[in-house]
Amino acid sequence: MYLFTSEVVSPGHPDKCADIIADSIVDKILMADSNGRVASEVFVAGKNIVIGGEINSKLKLEQKDYENIVKDALFNIGYKGLPYFTKEQCLHPDDINVSVYINQQSSDINQGVDQKDGEIGAGDQGIMFGFASCEADEYMPAAITYARMLCDKVYKFAKENPDKLGVDIKTQVSIDYGTKDNFENCKPQSIHTIVVSAPCVESMDINELRELIQTLIDDSGLPTNLYDKQKTIIYINPTGRYVNHSSLHDSGLTGRKLIVDSFGGYAPIGGGAQSSKDYTKVDRSGLYAARYIAKNIVAAGLAKKCIVQLSYAIGVAKPTSVSVDTMGTNVASVDDDKLSNFVMDNFSLTPKWIINKFGLDKPSDDTFLYAKVAAFGQVGNSKYPWEQLDSVELFKTLI
């Protein structure tokens, strides 16, 4: 055996609640003022939601506005104050306290970001990594792809059946590659272990719960060539009881699920979180650009997997470095040096280029919402603008 594991948490996990609330603020600001600047963190502990950070915008939010954003976000996540779970068992939106500590963004940063020639400088220094792999249709590693598939299935059921399950859900998948060589060459052999933890109402027997979750696993769409119900090890609520959940029993903080948000630990991650920040913060926009480049390289057939690293200096538009690493899986005629130089020659990768390319200053119901990205992962969803494969033909010119 050669095993690799990734975990996923649902939007109802306290850390994800914090991310979603923070990005609901980003959406609110940018939909009213596309030039708004946002960097607000959220801490969720018990019934208390603390919002702090810096915002510059034409839209001025008051205490009541923040309270409404928080309550709407929690309601959409699935914390609807229904009687199936008591106020002691999970968070109810009508029972929260919201504290707001928001300042103006420093003018020292602004002068480097909004430049006189119309260019946009990076909102901070930092490093970002994008990754892609041929292991699954989404050009993502297998373990996190299937962990997400399971989590989405159970979460959807929980939202539709609040009389049975709560929305604070975790899943985990271990992939068996058989050998290290198969791992390095993106050849998963089977799903070795599945773990699912989902809160249920107190009246539900553990055996009934496990039978329900097993049915959802079997119906989740896992590839039949990898998933064998008779062979895969499956743990469902392994402690035997999971009723108490939400931030009442586990605090949440923005930016604490970076590996869940990205590549499941399969590849490096950058130095900062994405949620809570506007598009000028390269922790966010740089990840999207690096993922876009890596995905198009793999989709073009130039490599089986690919890591793209970008780095930026605060107030400087062009990246300070660009590197491509195909981890030895590249086609013989196109090495990493050639790929790195090709990317630098053909893709500007300035914040302004990234913003315009993906429409990052215009979140909407018709394109994408940052809050939904926070809920279901920053990468790996084909509907996101930065997941498009419109540079495949350009990369194929290298062959």
What's the pLDDT score for residue 123? 79
Are 120 and 351 spatial neighbours (Cβ–Cβ below 8 Å)?
yes
Q: Is 36 helix (H, G, I), strand (E, B) or coil?
A: coil
Please measure the distance between the N-terminal and C-terminal CA atoms of the chain and give it in whole angstroms. 35
Nearest to 232 by CA among 189, 171, 190, 182: 190
- The amino acid that residue 329 corresponds to is T
Nearest to 304 by CA among 135, 137, 130: 135
Q: Give bridge partners of residue 311 from the DSSP assignment.
A: 127, 321
Instruction: Please give the helix or strand (H or E) that residue 215 lies within, else none.
Output: helix 206-218
107, burial (CB in 10 Å: exposed 0-12, middle 13-18, buried 19+): exposed
Are 292 and 386 spatial neighbours (Cβ–Cβ below 8 Å)?
yes
Q: Give the integer Cα–Cα distance in Å for 232 and 223.
A: 13
Q: Give the integer Cα–Cα distance in Å for 394 and 176.
A: 35
Instruction: Count Cβ atoms below 10 Å from residue 151 Cβ, excluding itself.
Output: 28
- The percent of the chain in helix, strand and coil, each rounded to the nearest 5, is 35, 20, 45
Q: Give the integer Cα–Cα distance in Å for 147 and 173.
A: 5
**Is pTM beyond 0.85 here?**
yes
Are 59 and 33 spatial neighbours (Cβ–Cβ below 8 Å)?
yes
Task: Find the helix packing angle between 351-358 and 282-299, rounded to 10°.
Answer: 70
Q: Give the integer Cα–Cα distance in Å for 242 and 219.
A: 23
Structural tokens at position 194: 């599945």
Q: What is the DSSP string of 201-212?
A: -TTS-HHHHHHH
Q: Give the integer Cα–Cα distance in Å for 5 and 192.
A: 9
pLDDT per residue, tens digit, the chain (399 aa), is: 999 999 999 999 999 999 999 999 999 999 999 999 999 999 999 999 999 999 999 999 999 999 999 999 999 999 999 999 999 999 999 999 999 999 987 666 666 676 767 778 887 899 999 999 999 999 999 999 999 999 999 999 999 999 999 999 999 999 999 999 999 999 999 999 999 999 999 999 999 999 999 999 999 999 999 999 999 999 999 999 999 999 999 999 999 999 999 999 999 999 899 999 999 999 999 999 999 999 999 999 999 999 999 999 998 999 999 999 999 999 989 999 999 999 999 999 999 999 999 999 999 999 999 999 999 999 999 999 999 999 999 999 998
Q: Give the integer Cα–Cα distance in Å for 217 and 193.
A: 12
Looking at the chain, which runs of residues are DSSP E strands?
Answer: 3-9, 37-45, 48-56, 97-103, 126-133, 170-176, 190-197, 233-236, 252-253, 305-312, 321-325
The distance of Cα 274 from the centroid of its chain, to the nearest Å, equals 8
Instruction: Count Cβ atoms below 10 Å from residue 80 Cβ, excluding itself.
Output: 15
Q: Give the integer Cα–Cα distance in Å for 121 and 115.
A: 7
Q: Give the integer Cα–Cα distance in Å for 378 and 358.
A: 13
Q: Give the integer Cα–Cα distance in Å for 6 and 223.
A: 17
When computed from its CA atoms, the radius of gyration of the chain, rounded to whole angstroms, is: 22
Q: In the chain, what are the domains? A: 3-7+141-244 (3.30.300.10), 126-133+281-397 (3.30.300.10)
Instruction: Count Cβ atoms below 10 Å from residue 218 Cβ, excluding itself.
Output: 12
Are 170 and 9 spatial neighbours (Cβ–Cβ below 8 Å)?
yes
